[in-house]
Each structure stands twice: as structure tokens, then as C-alpha cells.
Amino acid sequence: MHAVRCVSDGDGRGSNWAPTVQIAIIADTHLPKGGRGLPATCVRRLRAADLIIHAGDFTQLTVLRELESHAPVIAVHGNVDDEDVQAALPERAVAKTGGASIGVVHDAGPAPGRLARLRRQFPREDAVIFGHSHVPVHERDSEGFQIFNPGSPTERRRAPSHTMGVLVIRGGQMRFELVVLD
């Protein structure tokens, strides 16, 4: 069970208390690479989180171990991760926290049909977090199912900025936010 914060919208006597979980979301870190590391703003968000979700492409296991020093981590391996990362992490994972169920996968396939495809692949989940493209994405279907790609905090490629995500869950309700790091 992951740590949660209890917050109240009521009179302070606990009648409206609900667990709130803050999740820091990153993917495609591709570290270590030269002298590059995670941006300071990203590290602050990781340290403040109740849980970290990484959607693959760490490159080396040392990056996972660094993240684990900040908060509990749920992660999957990506297509460029070395053998140690691939042995340590699954291809797919599910995080159940704050009353929500979130699927995690690295490569969600081509953009056309992605939302429906991920819905079929994760039929019991409320949302799916993915990486691989380095391009931020947030989509929702008519039933409330969501997909989210946080982009990359270290290697933006075709994206205009380095980014990460934050997911706040309260009483099973999810709110994704894209955080621009530069």
C-alpha cells in the first residue's frame, strides 16, 4: 500500500476526508547520457510525490534505483533499456492507488486508434500511462477512460519542451497535469 495524504473539504472534523494521492509521471529519461541528469524541477516533484510512475526507457538500472530513493516506483521497461532493466521490470504494469487503477506500458503503438486500442488492452483500468514517442498526449473517451504520455524530462525530440506529468487522485477521481520543465 502506498502512502496517501488525507485532506478535508469540510469542517475539519473528518466528515469529508478522502485519501489524496499525488503521482509523479516520467518516461523516456534515457540516462545516464553524458553529464545530463534529471532537471531540478523534476527531482523536486519526484521527491514530493507519494508514488512515481515511469513508463520505460530508463536505459540503465541505476536510474530506477535513484528514483526509488525519492518515492515508491511502479515502472515498466522500454525498448532501449539494457538487460538488467528488462530483467527487473515487466513490459506492462498496473498501479492501484487512491481508488483508481492505472495501466502502464512503454509503447502504445501508432497514434491513430491509440485510445481505443489501449482501452481494449487495459479493459479494467481507469487510465493508461505510456511513453516511447517523447511527445506529451492526454486524451479521454466518452466514458472517462484516459491515456497520458508525459513526454520526456531529458530528451524532448519533436516536443517543444522537456516535460513530465503529475496525477492527483482523490476518491478515485483522476486529474492529469502536464508540467513544462523549461
Average pLDDT taken over every residue of the chain = 91
Hey, where are the domains in the chain?
19-180
pLDDT in tens, 36-55: 899 999 999 999 999 999 99
Whole-prediction pTM value? 0.90
Would strands 146-149 and 127-129 be described as parallel, antiparallel, or unpaired?
parallel
pLDDT in tens, 22-37: 999 999 999 988 788 9
Catalogue the long-range contacts made by 75-79 (C-beta closer than 8 Å, 24 or more residues apart). 75/104, 76/104, 76/105, 76/106, 77/106, 78/27, 78/28, 78/106, 78/107, 78/131, 78/132, 79/106, 79/107, 79/132
pLDDT of amino acid 18: 65
From residue 10, how far is each of 17, 99, 139, 171, 175 by CA, in Å? 8, 20, 32, 15, 21
pLDDT in tens, 76-132: 999 999 999 999 999 999 999 999 999 999 999 999 999 999 999 999 999 999 999
Q: What is the CATH number of domain 19-180?
A: 3.60.21.10
